[in-house]
Amino acid sequence: MTKITEQDRTYHRQLIWENVLDLFEKRNSLTHKSIIKSQRSFIHNLNILGKNKYKSIEVLNNYFKNPNKLLAEQIFYNTINKKCKM
């Protein structure tokens, strides 16, 4: 069993946020349930440990549940910019 370094963890977190951005960009062709399911399975495939591993799913849920889509989209992209440093 190999030891996971902090650099690996940082890389995995960035992959998670990039994946959520890719899924978000495809939101017109996918249902919100399939987007969340895809993101959850992506996180599981990386074997991420920690209490905040589903933060990206929370951000997606906040977007889908917000009735004001323009504001929700702006909040989503601001969060992505902070997390992923696009």
Domain boundaries, the chain: 6-84
Kindly report the pTM of this predicted structure: 0.85
Tokens in use for 22?
A: 């890719």
Tokens in use for 4?
A: 């996971």
CA distance 36 to 64: 10
Predicted confidence (pLDDT) per residue in 18-55, tens digit: 999 999 998 888 898 999 999 999 999 988 877 788 99
CB burial string 17-26: b at 16+ within 10 A, e below: bebbbebbee
Over 70: is that where the pLDDT of 63 sits? yes
What amino acid is encoded at 84 in this protein?
C
CA distance 34 to 76: 18
Half-sphere exposure of 81 (CA within 13 A, CB side): 6
